[in-house]
Structure 1
Amino acid sequence: MALFKGTVKTALKLLLLLPLVLLVLWVNYFVDQTGLFRGGKYELELAQILLGGDAVSNFTKMDEREVLKLYIKNMPQPYDTLVVGSSRGLQITAAIAGETGTFYNAGMSGEDFYDIVGTIALLDKYDRLPKNMILVLDPWILNDNVDSYSKRSDADLANEFLSETLGFHESYEAQDRSRYTEALLDLDYFQKNVAYHFADHSDEDQPSRVSGNVYEQATETKMPDGTLLYTREYRENSQEWVDQEALSRASSILPFGCYDFTVLNEKRCAQFEAVIDFLREKGVELTFVLSPFHPIFYDKLAGTENARGVLLTEIYFNRMARRLQIPFYGSYDPAQAGCSNEDFYDGLHVRRESIKKFFFGIHASLV
């Protein structure tokens, strides 16, 4: 009898503690001041604004990669078409792609091979692979030189996918899942979250929805379809300025992963082919797009032995597309893409209205 009473008392104490435990769990997960469970506050809010169908005007301080991770995680369903690539593909809209259904441009500035693989890994993880994927392929993704990688890319995410899903042997640091469980019930974290919740955050940078004419914003605008809208001033720079910018870029190829690039890396090519095979096996319809460089910049590349790999990558992507019957559009060579100096914002980025000169949409006939 005494044992029974003791058991009841213990049970009642646990029941009395249960609301407190649930409160700690709720606050630690949903307030989450460090972004451990739900992602960074700024990036999560920005992703939610985009998912809500609004443009964002002040996103220059955001972590683009973190925003994309949170965007993919919170996507309501797979989209009909996604664009994956660097900023050189961020001008491709649904209208340009010929997509009348759901569409998102998942490109990001400075995207490298790890970024491409990481994006595909997340889409697969959350069962959000699209029906169609437009891959805007930059030459440096096949360059294994250390300078071809972005310091912002998540190598662990990409290498885990390459190793665990595609069977390559790449080193990576797996996430420590135990720290999430510990943090959920951490009373110190609970106290910090409570303090954070009631603190004044009015002076913190916050992403904001665009108000007024989206084409007249003073800062670059992230559109709800993921595309990037440059400021009016940048869109309307004089041709003299554009050409001079291209010339300036041409004198410094190194930052764009095109330096010391004389041959294609065999292992990197094998990994890229494995990624393409994976997507095709998943039923994703692929389209390859090569965005041209400004003529001044391209002439510098074409005349530099250390950048010979740029020419080799175009041949490689073209042959792969032919072999696998993947639609292939564009060229790094602006002349081949039908573009001149007037078709560029700067040395690397083709004007939005000029993309249709070389990319006719995912449903266009190549015959």
Structure 2
Amino acid sequence: MKQDIKWIKYSLTSTFFIILVITIFNYRVDSLGIFGNSSYLLDGAKALTNGKMIAGLRNYDERAFQALIIKNLKVKNDIIAIGSSRSLQIRKRFVTHKKDINFFNHSVTGAILNDYISIIGAYESIKGYLPSTIILGIDPWIFNKNSEHNKWQSISEYYNFEIAKIYNKKPKSRVKINTTKWKQLINYDYTLANINFFKTLLKNGGKAFYITNRIDIDDTIKESDGSRHYEYKRRYIKEDRVKREAIKYTQGKVYLISNYNKLSNIKLFEDFIKYLKSRGVNIIFYLPPYNPISYDILSKNRKYRYIDIVEKYLKKFAKEMNIELKGSYNPHIYNFKNRDFADGMHSHDEVVKKIFE
């Protein structure tokens, strides 16, 4: 009996010690900047807003990064772009050739409507102005209730601020404990992410990113305008590999557009757009095309009919609101080929450049 009690005490002590070590490790490494212990995001934001290009930055909180960029802006941005990773290749030189026009791409992976509102809210809350032109890269999942996630909550204060602006109400002042945030201290996936991040730091001499003045390097690069270049294996991917990736993309659960039952968030979206229009903002809708192989497979499957439904809705609403609409989910309209894409839903530069010409 005593031996059993001793073993239980030992097991509990060991378990507690392991959890404590994991908790401290995740809190200190904090690769996503969830707990505010990583200065590398601030350093990266300052580098970009000082006109530098950075490379090697991975596994970070993209939303918090955008807020830091806005806080550290040295100029007043005239044009901004917000969308998902499918809009990250909108570059200043594709949008305008005027040197006196300031542009920044604030797109984040898997962007949803709450991200748009939060990032615009950051401009109004932090800088006290709205950019004169806002390009919204709109993906079909924006109106899919079942695609919603909580990544935007790291900048939810700006969402609440902007919602109050849209509906002309006072922002709700409430203290809420973010349980999702603190659960990350013992989250398995976050622990793995921190281990990988720690390995990267050791490999790169303690640096989470580095400054570069070249695009022709084999790494993920952020230009000073916020747009992104992929590493070589995606930038120069072979056509047959792209074809396989495009087919693979349509199998199983398709990214954020599976389980699409109806158009949601329409009222909030339209109220948001009408608010921006009332403030004199010029809005451009950008519909990023899919790879033609992926598009042809998806368009024949009734499960993914909302790709077409969303595009028809956006065209109708844009016409009603006198909003310019560029692009289409349908790549055949622009005669895009498999070679113009990196996978089933991400394009090469040529696609974005042609659409914005």
TM range (shorter): 0.7 to 0.9
Q: Which has the larger radius of gyration?
A: 1
Q: Report the secondary structure of 2:224's partner residue.
A: coil
SS of the equivalent of 1:56 reads strand
Say whether 1:354 aligns with 2:351.
Answer: yes
SS of structure 2 residue aligned to 1:165? helix
1:303 is matched with: 300
> What amino acid does structure 1 have at the position aligned with 2:40?
Y
Match of 2:282 in 1: 285
TM-score (norm 1): 0.74
For each residue in 1:189-235, what CA deviation from the matched residue of structure 2 results, as whole angstroms up to 9, or x when unmatched? xxxxxxxxxxxxx9584333334633113x21111110101122321
Q: Does 1:119 align with 2:119?
A: yes
How many Å apart are 1:36 and its aligned residue? Answer: 9.9
1:48–1:71: 8 Å Cα contact kept in structure 2?
Answer: yes
The one-letter amino acid paired with 1:286 is I
Amino acid at match of 1:352: D
Q: Secondary structure at the match of 1:301?
A: helix
* Preserved CA contact (<8 Å) 2:80 2:106: yes
Structure 1 unmatched ranges of 5 or more: 1-32, 178-201, 361-367
Aligned residues: 298
Could you tell me which residue of structure 2 aligns to residue 131 of structure 1? 132
Report what 2:318 is aligned to.
321
TM-score, structure 2 normalization: 0.76
For residues 146-181 of structure 1, give each alpha carbon's deviation from its aligned partner in whole angstroms, at most 9, with x where no partner exists. xx1234222844652465233399x9884579xxxx
Change (3 A) 1:313 1:168: farther
1:1-367, aligned counterparts within 5 Å? Answer: 40-100=38-98, 101-126=101-126, 127-145=128-146, 148-154=147-153, 156-157=156-157, 160-161=160-161, 163-167=163-167, 174-175=174-175, 205-211=206-212, 213-217=214-218, 219-254=219-254, 256-265=255-264, 268-360=265-357
**C-alpha separation in 2, matches of 1:172 and 1:114:** 17
Q: Counterpart amino acid of 1:327? A: E
Distance of 2:340 and 2:353 partners within structure 1:
11
Identity %: 27
RMSD (CA atoms): 2.9
Gaps of 5+ in 2: 1-28, 178-200
Q: Distance in 2 between matches of 1:223 and 1:332?
A: 26
